[in-house]
């Protein structure tokens, strides 16, 4: 990557992305500047070889990064943005904050090239999904550079309407947490059936990992993969009938995704204030 990269906020998602960029060799550690107020998180980032700062004000006044990634909580975005205005006129600014609209970012940073991206934490191991929407000031070169950067974390999908970022937030951005919770629940069910907690957790993790990998590797649709496990009158059919009766699992997932979507819309309103 050409030029410097500035990461603002190195919490859970910022660190996951940073690890992905460095592991892929896409950026040299000394070309990355991280602003993170929490000392322990700053130390973790520093251990990766990047340059760290506690505050935006600690950046050199002449610092002009080619790429800026905003990875702070949506609730603090309005307070964080103004300090970066002097540094970003030439940058492409990528916000990963749930709900925060490009108009909000442009209101604080000026008429800049800006991208909303919604990654997820598997980006730390190159297995993430990121959904991207760019404003019309992003040049083809900037778009290509940001796509390559985000690709170090896994798949990148472009959408044509900014509102679809909120939909993606509810599916993939938050979705890894749904899967982690599914693993917890499957492991708990295993212990209730007499497996040791250790074995139950191992089986739950391996099953989600294996089924996910098979779903990715096979051309076969997931519905067909499911049918291949489900012999008539067998154990899987008995178990699945609980999940499918009255579309129980679909309805639960739809309710969960809708709650996430509504929260993204609320966060957008908070960002405007
Ligand atoms: N976690 C996910 O799976 C995920 C997925 C997709 C998108 N996102 C988005 O990613 C963003 C970060 O989420 P997260 O889970 O990584 O949150 P997080 O763990 O709280 O990380 C945010 C970090 O930014 C720091 N920060 C606060 N003010 C700052 C400032 N002025 N300058 C620089 N850093 C500052 C926070 O410090 P304090 O704790 O002191 O405030 C915190 O360490 C959110 O907007 C979220 O919507 C997260």
pLDDT at residue number 2: 79
Write the pLDDT tens digit of every residue in 111-170: 999 999 999 999 888 999 999 999 999 999 999 999 999 999 999 999 999 999 999 999
Maximum CA extent, the chain: 71
Please write down the HEC assignment for all residues of the chain: CCCCEEEECCCHHHHHHHHHHHHCCCCCHHHEEEECCCHHHHHHHHHCCCEEECCHHHCCCCCCCCEEEECCCHHHHHHHHHHHHHHCCCCEEEECCCCCCHHHHHHHHCCCEEEEEECCHHHHHCCEEEEEEECCCCCHHHHHHHHHHHHCCEEEEECCCCHHHHHHHHHHHCHHHHHHHHHHHHHHHHHHCCCCHHHHHHHHHHHHHHHHHHHHHCCCCHHHHHHHHCCCCCHHHHHHHHHHHHHHHHHHHHHHHHHHHHHHHHHHHHHHC
Are the beta carbons of 126 and 154 closer than 8 angstroms?
Answer: yes
Are the beta carbons of 135 and 128 closer than 8 angstroms?
Answer: no
What is the residue with the minimal CA distance to atom 21 of ligand 1? 11
Q: Which domains does the chain have, with CATH numbers?
A: 5-165 (3.40.50.720), 175-264 (1.10.3730.10)
pLDDT at residue number 22: 92
pLDDT at residue number 218: 80
- CA dist 119 and 223 (Å) reads 26
Write the pLDDT tens digit of every residue in 77-92: 999 999 999 999 999 9
Give me the percent of the chain exceeding a pLDDT of 90. 90
Q: Phi first, then psi: give them for residue 97, nearest 5 degrees.
A: -70, 130
Is the pLDDT confidence value at 195 over 70? yes
Average pLDDT over residues 251-261: 97
Average of per-residue pLDDT values in the chain: 95
For residue 100, report the distance from its CA to the centre of ligand 1, in Å.
Answer: 13
> To test the ligand 1 pocket, which listed residue (7, 10, 12, 261) has its Cβ within 8 A of the most ligand atoms?
12
Is the pLDDT confidence value at 185 over 80? yes
pLDDT at residue number 272: 66
pLDDT at residue number 123: 87
What is the residue with the minimal CA distance to atom 34 of ligand 1? 9
Token pair for 224: 């067909």
Are the beta carbons of 78 and 18 closer than 8 angstroms?
Answer: no
Question: What residue has token string 């990998």?
Answer: 213
Average pLDDT over residues 170-186: 97
Would you say how long the chain is, in residues?
273
For residue 2, report the distance from its CA to the centre of ligand 1, in Å.
Answer: 25
- CA dist 50 and 30 (Å) reads 5
User: Rounded to the nearest 10 degrees, what angle do helices 175-192 and 197-217 cross at?
Assistant: 140
For residue 13, report the distance from its CA to the centre of ligand 1, in Å.
Answer: 7
Nearest to 224 by CA among 233, 215, 216: 215
What is the residue with the minimal CA distance to atom 25 of ligand 1? 9
For residue 95, report the distance from its CA to the centre of ligand 1, in Å.
Answer: 11
- CA dist 216 and 170 (Å) reads 21
pLDDT band, residue 213 (cuts 50/70/90):
very high
User: Rounded to the nearest 10 degrees, what angle do helices 39-47 and 12-23 cross at?
Assistant: 10
Is the pLDDT confidence value at 273 over 60? no
Give me the percent of the chain exceeding a pLDDT of 70. 99
What is the residue with the minimal CA distance to atom 43 of ligand 1? 11
Strands 113-118 and 128-134: antiparallel
Ligand 1 atom with the smallest distance to the CA of 35 is 33
pLDDT at residue number 255: 98
Nearest to 76 by CA among 117, 37, 40, 122: 37
- CA dist 25 and 151 (Å) reads 12
Average pLDDT over residues 40-66: 96
pLDDT at residue number 205: 98
What is the residue with the minimal CA distance to atom 20 of ligand 1? 11
pLDDT at residue number 102: 96
Write the pLDDT tens digit of every residue in 14-27: 998 999 899 889 89
């Amino acid at each position: 990557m050409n030029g410097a990269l500035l990461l603002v906020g190195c919490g859970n998602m910022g660190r996951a992305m940073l690890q992905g960029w460095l592991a892929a060799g896409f950026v040299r550690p000394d070309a990355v500047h991280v602003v993170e107020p929490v000392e322990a998180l700053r130390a973790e980032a520093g251990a990766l070889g990047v340059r760290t700062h506690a505050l935006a004000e600690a950046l050199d006044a002449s610092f002009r990064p080619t790429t800026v990634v905003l990875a702070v909580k949506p609730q603090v975005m309005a307070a964080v943005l103004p300090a970066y205005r002097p540094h970003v006129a030439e940058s492409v600014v990528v916000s990963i904050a749930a709900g925060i609209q490009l108009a909000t970012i442009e209101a604080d940073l000026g008429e800049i090239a800006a991208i909303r991206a919604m990654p997820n934490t598997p980006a730390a191991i190159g297995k993430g999904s990121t959904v991207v929407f760019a404003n019309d000031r992003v040049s083809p070169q900037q778009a290509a550079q940001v796509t390559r950067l985000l690709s170090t974390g896994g798949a990148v999908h472009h959408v044509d309407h900014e509102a679809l970022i909120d939909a993606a937030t509810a599916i993939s951005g938050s979705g890894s947490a749904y899967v982690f919770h599914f693993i917890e629940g499957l492991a708990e069910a295993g212990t209730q059936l007499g497996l040791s907690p250790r074995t139950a957790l191992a089986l739950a993790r391996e099953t989600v990992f294996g089924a996910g990998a098979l779903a990715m590797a096979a051309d076969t649709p997931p519905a067909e993969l499911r049918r291949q496990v489900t012999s008539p009158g067998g154990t899987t059919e008995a178990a699945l009938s609980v999940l499918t009766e009255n579309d129980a699992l679909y309805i639960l997932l739809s309710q969960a995704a809708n709650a996430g979507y509504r929260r993204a819309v609320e966060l957008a309103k908070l960002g405007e204030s």
